[in-house]
Amino acid sequence: MAKQHNPYDTVLAAVEDAAKILGYSEGEYERAKYPERETVVHFPVEMDDGSVRIFTGFRVQHSTARGPAKGGIRYHQNVNIDEVKALAAWMAFKVAIANIPYGGGKGGIIVDPFTLSDKELERMTRAYTMMIAPVIGPDKDIPAPDVGTTPETMAWMADEYAKINGYYNPAIVTGKPIEIGGSEGRVEATGRGVARALMNVLKKRDMHPEDITVAIQGMGNVGSITALTLSELGVKVVAVSDVSGGIYKESGLNIKDITEYLSQNRKNLLSGYEASGIKRITNEEILLLDVDVIVPAALENQIDETNAGDIKARIVLEAANGPTTPEADAILKDRGVIIVPDIFANSGGVIVSYFEWVQNRQGYYWSEKEVNERLMYKMDKNFEDLWALSKEKNITLREAAYCIALDRIVKAANKKGRLA
């Protein structure tokens, strides 16, 4: 597969497309094409064997036109500035379509977290937090988990920031453990939102969950919870994968058993999972299976011009950020495949991050039922807006999502008297 695609080009293509549909002149939206600030940090960390290793990390704030920057921290060996810039921009558009009062940001460290011990991970996270402390803050830029980071990572960040700040303020990060100010339902929020997005599309198409087969690429937090929620809703999940490859069973996989196995140890992978009747497949094959829905829930650029023409699914549900390149997007559009775009489909995570931040600031905590009801209300309302605009203008759901988001960002910037 041609995986060299720069993800920031994917952002730019979507912005240009939306600006054209909205009839904007270049000067009106030019600002939205550039991040406000890019921070690069290098810092030493002591390893368990006493050696010292220098790590490189990033934090990018794409836009603060609608509120403080918001977005996750990624730990992955392939993290680079273009990826973080793209992820920060997607956050800005995601929070705008979600209609929550934030801008977009993202951070990351170039590291394979599976190669570090828990103690090394903690020291690295604390050192990184110290380095980015000047550019983050509860009213400035609020990090959260992303690929390779967890509630535990957020606990270390919050604690390190408290040392610098002089007191513990839980609103500095979201996605925290419940015990230190996390929200009920945050861990599950992205996956639950992804599943809800699919239910909404099925309703419009008069399709029923029990008749649907799904393949999910990626079994991190988002992929696992999406798989669990969909199987609880009666959907047949026939294939899942992670970095070690995938498994397939035509009659449907036992998702509960698989997720239990994976959660026993953070280093457990699907290659070590055994069950009768499962067939091993690759991460490339999983996207080409003869299923109704594919759910890319891993990294960017998984669907490009080399495989888009071979996809058999009629619905692509983007749980990952940026899984489809603009070339693939055009091919799938031509073939009439429905793409439920990332900036809407996976927005449940940041929506409940917002609820967590609101609860932290109020010092008043909601039940899981209240969190879920508010999340579902937002997913349904935002979907209706998207669907209506796509029908009205005869555009794709991605185009509709970017039109709504870009318009909100540009209008907010203009109200402040700034150039968009």
Which residues of this chain interact with ligand GLU, rule CB under 6 A? 70-72, 94, 144, 146, 174-175, 321, 346, 349-350, 353
Cβ partners under 8 Å of residue 274, min gap 6: none
Comparison of 96 and 337: residue with beta carbon closer to ligand GLU: 96
Q: Are 379 and 197 in contact (CB under 8 A)?
A: yes
DSSP 49-109: TS-EEEEEEEEEEEE-TTSSEEEEEEEETT--HHHHHHHHHHHHHHHHHHT-S-EEEEEEE
What minimum distance in Å lies between the beta carbon of 148 and ligand GLU? 11
Residue type, 330: A
Residue 207 has phi, psi (to 5 degrees) of: -110, 150
3-state secondary structure of 198: helix
Comparison of 70 and 236: residue with beta carbon closer to ligand GLU: 70
What minimum distance in Å lies between the beta carbon of 288 and ligand GLU? 26
Catalytic (active site) residue 106: yes
What minimum distance in Å lies between the beta carbon of 150 and ligand GLU? 12
Q: Are 266 and 224 in contact (CB under 8 A)?
A: no
The residue number whose beta carbon is nearest to ligand GLU equals 72
What minimum distance in Å lies between the beta carbon of 66 and ligand GLU? 14
Comparison of 299 and 316: residue with beta carbon closer to ligand GLU: 299
Comparison of 24 and 161: residue with beta carbon closer to ligand GLU: 161
For residues 400 and 255, give the distance between their C-alpha atoms in angstroms, rounded to a whole number: 33
Comparison of 86 and 202: residue with beta carbon closer to ligand GLU: 86
Closest CA to 215 of 249, 188, 190, 187: 249
Comparison of 291 and 297: residue with beta carbon closer to ligand GLU: 297
What minimum distance in Å lies between the beta carbon of 377 and ligand GLU? 18
Residue with tokens 């996270």: 125
Comparison of 68 and 209: residue with beta carbon closer to ligand GLU: 68
Let me know if 363 is exposed, middle or buried by CB neighbors in 10 A (0-12, 13-18, 19+): exposed
Q: Are 173 and 144 in contact (CB under 8 A)?
A: yes
For residues 318 and 201, give the distance between their C-alpha atoms in angstroms, rounded to a whole number: 13
Q: Are 158 and 172 in contact (CB under 8 A)?
A: yes
Active-site position among 70, 85, 94, 106: 106
Comparison of 86 and 255: residue with beta carbon closer to ligand GLU: 86
Closest CA to 108 of 38, 158, 178: 38
For residues 165 and 408, give the distance between their C-alpha atoms in angstroms, rounded to a whole number: 33
Q: Residue 196 to residues 276, 317, 368, 373: CA-CA distances in angstroms?
A: 30, 11, 16, 12
| Parallel, antiparallel or unpaired: strands 52-63 and 69-76 | unpaired
What minimum distance in Å lies between the beta carbon of 195 and ligand GLU? 16
What minimum distance in Å lies between the beta carbon of 57 and ligand GLU? 16
What minimum distance in Å lies between the beta carbon of 88 and ligand GLU? 10
Q: Are 215 and 395 in contact (CB under 8 A)?
A: no
317 sits in which H/E element: strand 315-317
Could you give the residue numbers annotated as active site? 106
